[in-house]
């Protein structure tokens, strides 16, 4: 009996809340597409592209969580990624821990890294913070290169265990991990914690005056962002079976930021969508490898000039309208708001 009630409630939710809004429909179709794709098109190369896209989507979303929401502009996000990759490689190679153990452990190590860089960064603001965070991955790169006995130097650590035996298994694990972690981040940003993050970005002093311990929340942002980025790094190391200095490079940090800006900062879904659009597009441009980065940078400039809130946000604004009276969302073709029936044409 109760199952029927739940089913009925589910049905009503789908009918009243999801079918009506194009963004929700697109999101659900996208998730279904990701889950069904290997069954209908089990192409090894395509799957590799999508696995890497999932890893970078997770990484970009974690950057957005820290820099977009909490406003702690981090220009060295590759630090967490590299720490995750190297620590899972070391756990796997030295302590012989299988991927199921080494990836969560690498996430914890990245949390530690988040705490370590979070503490000095608490005192810094805005542009000083941005310029200082660039320094951390470079410091670590220097250390990695100076200790070739442990870290493999410029070649990196190779010969890690495979994630699972098969490509499809890898695909499902990485995709589900990405969907799960992005959902967690999205839900966090929609909760009260998310409101505090918004407030830290907009006006930290007022928040302190309101009696909220901003230090705690800033460290929380660093740690959570580090956790997800570290897991992404661990998965990357096990998938590529190598952890090299390229995971720590400045261009990795910059690429993440470019993805996030393309999708729209301060929206977790924007980052994910941006990576799933840009990453396969870059693979198409593999045919002309010399034009890849040029094309990439040019896209970003165009986006910044003509769609300052990001490409994904721009599309959402085109297909959805927000009612100015009750704040509910409607699809763009509606003449009146579906809740308070206020007409849209007057403004």
Partner 1 sequence: MVVDIIISTLINGSIYSILAIGFSLVFGVARIINIAHTAFYMLAAFCIYAGTNSFGLHPVLAMGAAIIFVTILGLASYKLIIEKIRVHPAATIIATIALAMIFQEIMILNFGAEFLSVPVLVEGFTVVFGVKITYQQVFTFIFMVILLISVWFLLMKTKLGLAIRATAQDRETANLMGMNESMIALVTIGISVGFAGFAGAIVIPLTVIHPHMWLSPLIIMMAVVVLGGLGSIKGSIIGAFIMGLTEAIIVFLLPMGSFLKGSVALTILIIVLIIKPEGLFGVSIEGE
Give 176 or 297: the residue with its C-beta nearer to partner 1.
297
Rama region for 156: left / alpha / beta (φ>0; ψ in -120 to 50; rest): left
Residue 68, classified by CB atoms within 10 Å of its CB into exposed (0-12), middle (13-18) or buried (19+), is buried
CB 65 within 8 A of CB 184: no
Least distance CB 281 / partner 1 (angstroms): 16
In whole angstroms, how close is the CB of 47 to partner 1 at the nearest point?
29
**Is the Cβ of residue 12 or residue 298 nearer to partner 1 in the bound state?**
298
Tokens of 120: 């000095």
Q: How far is the CB of 62 from partner 1 (least distance, A)?
A: 17
| 320 φ, ψ (degrees, to nearest 5) | -135, 145
* Residue with smaller CB distance to partner 1, 314 or 344: 314
Kindly state the DSSP code that residue 328 receives in the 8-state scheme.
-
Nearer to partner 1, 47 or 303 (CB): 303
CA distance 193 to 216: 11
User: Tokens 């597409």 — which residue?
Assistant: 33
Return d(Cα 94, Cα 250) in angstroms, integer: 28
SS3 content of the chain, % helix, strand, coil (to 5): 75, 5, 20
Q: Quick one: 32 or 298, whose CB is closer to partner 1?
A: 298
51 vs 257, beta carbon nearer partner 1: 257
For binding to partner 1 (CB under 8 A), which residues are involved? 73, 75, 120, 123-128, 130-132, 134-136, 138-143, 145-146, 250, 254, 257-258, 261, 265, 290-291, 293-294, 296-298, 300-301, 304-305, 308
Q: What is the DSSP letter of 21?
A: -
Q: What backbone torsions phi and psi does residue 132 show, to the nearest 5 degrees?
A: -75, -40
Number of helices (H) and strands (E) in the chain: give both, helices first: 16, 4
For the CB of residue 305, give the shortest distance to partner 1 in the complex, in Å. 6
- 80 vs 239, beta carbon nearer partner 1: 80
Tell me the closest approach of the beta carbon of residue 261 to partner 1, in angstroms: 5
| Token pair for 105 | 């452990």
Find out whether 143 and 154 touch, Cβ atoms under 8 Å.
no
The C-alpha atoms of residue 290 and residue 116 are separated, in whole angstroms, by: 38
Contact assessment for residue 329 and residue 21, using Cβ atoms and an 8 Å cutoff: yes
Nearer to partner 1, 120 or 180 (CB): 120
């Amino acid at each position: 009996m109760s199952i029927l009630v739940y089913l009925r409630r589910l049905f009503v939710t789908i009918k009243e809340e999801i079918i009506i809004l194009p963004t929700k429909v697109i999101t659900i179709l996208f998730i279904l597409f990701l889950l069904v794709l290997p069954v209908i098109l089990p192409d090894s190369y395509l799957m590799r592209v999508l696995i890497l896209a999932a890893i970078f989507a997770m990484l970009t979303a974690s950057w957005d969580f820290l820099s977009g929401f909490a406003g702690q502009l981090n220009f060295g996000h590759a630090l967490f990624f590299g720490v995750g990759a190297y620590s899972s490689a070391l756990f796997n190679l030295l302590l012989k821990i299988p991927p199921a153990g080494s990836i969560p452990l690498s996430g914890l190590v990245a949390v530690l890294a988040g705490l370590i860089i979070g503490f000095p960064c608490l005192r810094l603001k805005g542009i000083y913070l941005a310029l200082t965070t660039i320094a951390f991955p470079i410091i670590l790169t220097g250390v990695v290169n100076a200790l070739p006995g442990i870290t493999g130097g410029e070649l990196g650590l190779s010969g890690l265990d495979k994630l699972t035996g098969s490509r499809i298994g890898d695909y499902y694990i990485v995709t589900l991990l990405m969907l799960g972690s992005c959902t967690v981040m999205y839900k966090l940003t929609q909760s009260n914690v998310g409101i505090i993050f918004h407030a830290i970005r907009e006006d930290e002093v007022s928040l302190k005056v309101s009696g909220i311990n901003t230090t705690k929340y800033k460290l929380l942002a660093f740690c959570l962002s580090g956790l997800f980025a570290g897991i992404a790094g661990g998965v990357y190391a096990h998938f590529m079976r190598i952890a090299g200095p390229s995971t720590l490079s400045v261009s990795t940090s910059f690429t993440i930021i470019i993805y996030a800006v393309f999708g729209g900062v301060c929206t977790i879904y924007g980052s994910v969508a941006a990576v799933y659009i840009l990453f396969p597009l870059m693979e198409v441009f593999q045919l002309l490898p010399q034009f890849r980065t040029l094309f990439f940078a040019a896209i970003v400039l165009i986006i910044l000039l003509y769609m300052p809130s990001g490409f994904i946000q721009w599309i959402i604004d085109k297909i959805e309208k927000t009612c100015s009276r009750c704040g509910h969302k409607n699809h763009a073709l509606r003449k009146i708001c579906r809740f308070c029936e206020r007409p849209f044409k007057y403004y």
